[in-house]
């Protein structure tokens, strides 16, 4: 089959695009700053921001909220407090507004136990309402019930919001004209769910038994949160959920998700993707489209321009070969799937596949799907976790359903060469040619487009960001990126923003030249560091333009990002830090329960984890404040004599690296303007061991998890007079460096003739490398980074374990 000159030109240009993606730098001279942040501030409650939506002048942040009181011993009501804004002019929220809302207490035994205390059965559905311009909190809507219930989807339009998720027991909503309670279909009305049938929201083996629950959808008024209706959908005898929702112009609700069933004589459940349209009036099903070739449908976006829906999904409910489905368009064990379907009846228009095993989890960074804005053109963006990261080479994006075309003799001109402003029809074929539909035997195979669009060039990335033409499904480019939590096409159509979380110290996140620092918490291990990021890519080429490390340190997550028509980007997530470094000029200090603790050091953990909403003024970019000259790339920029530029952020001389566990290091422009320099206390009163600043006499410790008890060594201490960067052995002890405390130390019975302590050179201050942590960010809402000692042998063991984990994964 011939390839037209148009196609050759397109392929040539797309190949140039992919080259630019591969040589990505994210080192732009100009970056935006955060304006404000709003927090939940009560230690008596735990709150998690998971999804965001904007309507008018309001931003809505939905998630899970709970009382920390065990109703079996301390029944009653506690209050959630929302405080904001914390801003550059008011970083401690001194003049911020606080609102308080009651939340019910439930028994800890009502759901799956959390490792850090309490249970998932204590959570309710919570939707915060914030003034998007000022950050002032306006309201918090709560929908709750006995048993485990969780939020996964949120949409807003006009005076309507839609919320979705799943539940195990019952769920109650205050209606516009009354109150309604729905019950899980697997228990009797008035019954309670089985504790053993409620599972962690991000359980690793999704293909196994993950509980007995139903999905739910609520349509409510944005003005006061009162519900028009609440429905149980879909029902199942195993596991089901509406993962994402959207709203059309008539107020009807679209939902995407999955439904798992297990036959009486079957050993395993079977999960199918599902998309449905629900009536604006009462939530009744207007149409339902099952996708038996999908293990789950994830994200969904409604396009009013031509009544279509865009869906992301996977052929494996388990996120791996286990639980995989046979899919006619997937030539691999597992695939990520993107679909365009009709919003009127659910019929499929086109489908694209890519090799990978994307997975689903409530607090995972699992990507998203979004419409490009008008200034960009007729495109969509979709991000998939675990696509292009299998370390086996390039993942082509030229796969999926065939293209329609016009046939003239033996030549078929594909639809993307005929019209790109709308869906091609039979009348678009020139006289003398015949129309070939996408389902015709003669239709053009997706592989013959040969666009060159791909992911997997950069093998250390965790995800793939893809731009597709929305009418044809033609892939435009693919970019290797870290795991994506938030996806926001810019309002001007020139760029696309992504956000997420990274775990530092294990691999590069963006490319071989870009490193983000790991935020540390006081009392934590140097190996258990992480951070949040916001990045911008070119809409035309997929080239990275900048990346900001935008907070982190303790229980930190960004779960979603949304954008407004003014070009601002809002992060929604949760954190356990009292002090947050948002990048740029905003650093906030939060007081839990309104208690002023005075000067709080970076890395100080709070009592609880708290939902946040933060505003990034992405439409306003300025040159890094410490640069006197910068021409397109910060590597060649001129830094002012009194400043440093370290890991993408400006610091004044004398500033320390306290956020990153380096309070004993500082910015010293006279010595090094691009790396932290060791301070004078190292080697005198302090050591720098295992990436942490330690005081004389501090002991080595082991901690199985970040919430576990610390077990201190009896024989290994910081003694800067002996060794400033390795543990010093106390006199009279022998140490087994392959063992953790308390087995590491034994009292010496025979004194050796002499064992001099090795003195090594100072660390160079090289930047910390990063990678997405699958144990930490994927399957648990706690910090589950393995806590390991800092001896060289322990580091080797950790590295081998990580290599084995990646290989198995």
**pLDDT tens readout for residues 154-196:** 999 999 999 999 999 999 999 999 999 999 999 999 999 998 8
Q: Could you tell me the pLDDT band of residue 752, with boundaries at 50, 70 and 90?
A: low
Task: Give yes or no for residue 801 having a pLDDT over 80.
Answer: no
Q: What is the pLDDT of residues 111-164, one digit of tens each?
A: 899 877 889 999 999 999 999 999 999 999 999 999 999 999 999 999 999 999
Question: Beta strands of 133-269 (E only): which ranges?
Answer: 137-143, 149-157, 160-167, 170-175, 178-183, 214-221, 227-232, 239-247, 253-261
Q: How confident is the model at residue 624 (pLDDT cuts 50, 70, 90)?
A: very high
Note whether 88 and 585 are within 8 A (CB). Answer: yes
Look at residue 511 in the predicted model and tell me its pLDDT. 64
Q: What is the pLDDT of residue 750?
A: 67
Kindly report, residue by residue over 439-452, the tens digit of the pLDDT.
999 999 999 999 99
Number of Cβ atoms within 10 Å of the Cβ of 366: 26
Q: Are 252 and 259 in contact (CB under 8 A)?
A: no
Give the burial class of 724: count Cβ atoms within 10 A of its Cβ; 0-12 exposed, 13-18 middle, 19 or more buried: buried
Burial label for 360, CB within 10 Å (0-12, 13-18, 19+), is buried
Residue scoring higher pLDDT (721 or 555): 721
pLDDT, residue 426, reads 96
Q: How far apart are CA 124 and CA 139, in angstroms?
A: 16
Q: Could you tell me if 572 and 559 are in contact, meaning their C-beta atoms sit under 8 angstroms apart?
A: yes
Interatomic CA distance for residues 749 and 773, integer angstroms: 43
Contact 774, 801 (CB under 8 A): no
Cis link prior to 454 (omega < 30° from 0)? no
- Residue 765 pLDDT: 36
Residue 130, burial from CB neighbour count under 10 angstroms (0-12, 13-18, 19+): buried
Least confident of 362-366, 449-453, 537-541: 362-366
Domains contained in the chain, CATH given: 24-402+445-616 (2.130.10.10), 686-761+779-808 (no CATH)
Residues 6+ apart with CB under 8 A from 225: 127, 129, 139, 141, 161, 174
| Distance from C-alpha of 98 to C-alpha of 89, rounded to nearest angstrom | 17
Residue found under tokens 């060594």:
713
- Please state the rounded mean pLDDT for residues 786-805: 38
Q: Which position has the token pair 């099952």?
A: 290
Of 16-25, 428-437, 753-762, the one with minimum mean pLDDT is: 753-762
459-482 pLDDT, tens digit each? 677 899 999 999 999 999 999 998
pLDDT tens string 675-698: 999 999 999 999 999 999 999 999
- Alpha-carbon span 646 to 728, nearest angstrom: 31
3 state DSSP class of 594? helix
Tell me how far the alpha carbon of residue 591 is from its chain's centroid.
26
453, 478 Cβ separation under 8 angstroms: yes
Q: Which of 664, 536, 521 is nearest to 604 (CA)?
A: 521
pLDDT band at 298; cut points 50, 70, 90: very high
What pLDDT score does 251 carry? 98
Confidence at residue 770, expressed as pLDDT on a 0 to 100 scale: 30
The pLDDT of residue 515 is 79
What integer pLDDT is reported at residue 525 of this predicted model? 85
Statement: residue 359 has pLDDT above 90 = no
CA of 475: how far to CAs of 134, 352, 397, in Å? 39, 9, 6
Verify cis geometry, omega within 30 degrees of 0, for the bond prior to 234.
Answer: yes
Coil, strand or helix: which one is 799? helix
Higher pLDDT, 779 or 621: 621
What percentage of the chain exceeds 90 in pLDDT?
A: 73
Neighbouring residues of 427: CB distance < 8 A, sequence distance ≥ 6: none
289 compared with 594, residue with greater pLDDT: 289
CA atoms of 380 and 370, how far apart (whole Å) = 6
Q: What percent of the chain has pLDDT over 70?
A: 88
pTM: 0.90
Cα(635)–Cα(625) distance, integer angstroms: 15
């Amino acid at each position: 089959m011939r390839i037209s000159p148009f196609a050759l030109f397109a392929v040539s240009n797309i190949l140039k695009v992919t080259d630019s993606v591969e040589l990505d730098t994210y080192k732009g001279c100009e970056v935006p700053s955060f304006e404000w942040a709003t927090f939940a501030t009560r230690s008596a409650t735990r709150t998690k921001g998971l999804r965001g939506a904007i309507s008018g002048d309001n931003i809505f942040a939905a998630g899970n909220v709970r009382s920390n009181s065990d109703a079996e011993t301390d029944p009653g009501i506690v209050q959630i407090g929302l405080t904001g804004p914390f801003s550059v002019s008011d970083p401690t929220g001194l003049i911020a507004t606080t609102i308080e809302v009651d939340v019910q207490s439930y028994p800890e035994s009502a759901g799956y136990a959390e490792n850090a205390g309490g249970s998932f059965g204590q959570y309710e559905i919570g939707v915060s309402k914030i003034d998007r311009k000022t950050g002032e909190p306006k309201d918090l809507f709560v929908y709750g019930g006995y048993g485990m219930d969780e939020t996964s989807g949120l949409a807003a339009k006009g005076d309507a919001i839609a919320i979705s998720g799943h539940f195990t027991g019952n769920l109650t909503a205050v209606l516009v004209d009354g109150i309604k309670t729905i019950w899980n279909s697997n228990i009797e009305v008035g019954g309670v769910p089985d504790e053993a049938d409620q599972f962690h929201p991000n359980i690793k083996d999704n293909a196994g038994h993950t509980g007995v629950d139903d999905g739910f959808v609520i349509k409510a008024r944005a003005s006061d949160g009162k519900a028009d209706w609440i429905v149980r959908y879909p029902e199942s005898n195993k596991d089901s959920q509406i993962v994402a929702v959207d709203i059309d112009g008539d107020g009807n609700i679209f939902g995407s998700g999955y439904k798992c069933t297990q036959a009486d004589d079957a050993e395993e459940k079977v999960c199918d993707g599902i998309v449905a349209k629900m009536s604006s009036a009462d939530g009744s099903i207007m149409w339902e489209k099952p996708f038996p070739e999908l293990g789950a449908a994830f994200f969904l976006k409604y396009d009013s321009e031509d009544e279509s829906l865009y869906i992301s999904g996977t052929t494996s409910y388990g996120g791996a070969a286990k639980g995989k489905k046979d899919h006619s368009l997937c030539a691999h064990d597992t695939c990520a799937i993107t679909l365009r379907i009709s919003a009127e009846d659910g019929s499929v228009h086109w489908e694209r596949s890519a090799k990978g095993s994307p997975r689903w989890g409530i607090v995972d960074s699992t990507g998203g799907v979004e419409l490009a804005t008008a200034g960009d053109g007729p495109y969509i963006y979709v991000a998939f976790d675990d696509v292009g990261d299998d370390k086996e080479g390039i993942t082509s994006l030229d796969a999926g359903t065939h293209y329609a075309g016009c046939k003239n003799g033996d030549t078929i001109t594909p639809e993307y060469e005929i019209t790109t402003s709308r869906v091609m029809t039979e009348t678009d074929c020139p006289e003398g040619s015949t129309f070939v539909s996408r389902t015709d035997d003669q239709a053009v195979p997706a592989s013959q487009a040969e666009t060159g669009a791909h992911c997997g060039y950069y093998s250390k990335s965790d995800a793939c960001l893809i731009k597709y033409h929305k009418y044809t499904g033609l892939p435009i480019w693919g970019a290797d990126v870290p795991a994506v939590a938030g996806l926001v096409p810019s309002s001007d159509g020139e760029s696309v923003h992504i956000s997420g979380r990274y775990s530092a110290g294990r691999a590069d996140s963006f490319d071989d030249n870009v490193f983000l620092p790991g935020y540390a918490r006081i009392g934590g291990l140097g190996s258990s560091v992480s951070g949040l990021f916001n990045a911008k890519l070119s809409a035309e080429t997929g080239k990275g333009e900048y990346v900001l490390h935008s907070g982190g340190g303790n229980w930190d997550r960004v779960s979603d990002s949304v954008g407004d028509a003014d070009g601002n980007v809002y992060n929604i997530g949760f954190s356990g830090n009292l002090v947050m470094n948002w990048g740029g000029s905003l650093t906030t200090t939060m007081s839990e329960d309104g208690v002023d603790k005075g000067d709080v050091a970076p890395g100080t953990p709070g009592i609880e984890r708290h939902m946040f909403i933060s505003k990034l003024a992405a439409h306003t970019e300025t040159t890094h404040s410490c640069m006197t000259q910068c021409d397109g790339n910060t590597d060649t920029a001129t830094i002012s004599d009194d400043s440093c530029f370290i890991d993408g952020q400006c610091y004044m001389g004398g500033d320390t690296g306290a956020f990153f566990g380096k309070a004993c290091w500082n910015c010293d422009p006279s010595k090094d303007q691009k790396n932290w320099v060791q301070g004078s206390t190292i080697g005198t009163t302090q050591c720098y061991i295992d990436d942490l600043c330690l005081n004389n006499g501090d002991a080595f410790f082991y901690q199985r998890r970040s919430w576990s008890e610390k077990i201190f060594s009896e024989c290994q201490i910081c003694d800067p007079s002996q060794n400033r960067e390795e543990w010093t052995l106390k006199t009279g002890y022998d140490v087994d460096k392959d063992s953790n405390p308390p087995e590491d130390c034994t009292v010496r019975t025979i004194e050796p003739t002499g064992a001099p302590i090795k003195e090594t050179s100072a660390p160079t201050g090289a930047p910390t490398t990063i990678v997405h942590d699958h144990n930490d960010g994927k399957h648990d809402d706690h910090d589950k980074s393995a806590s390991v000692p800092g001896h060289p042998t322990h580091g080797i063991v950790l590295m081998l374990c990580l290599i084995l984990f990646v290989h198995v994964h």
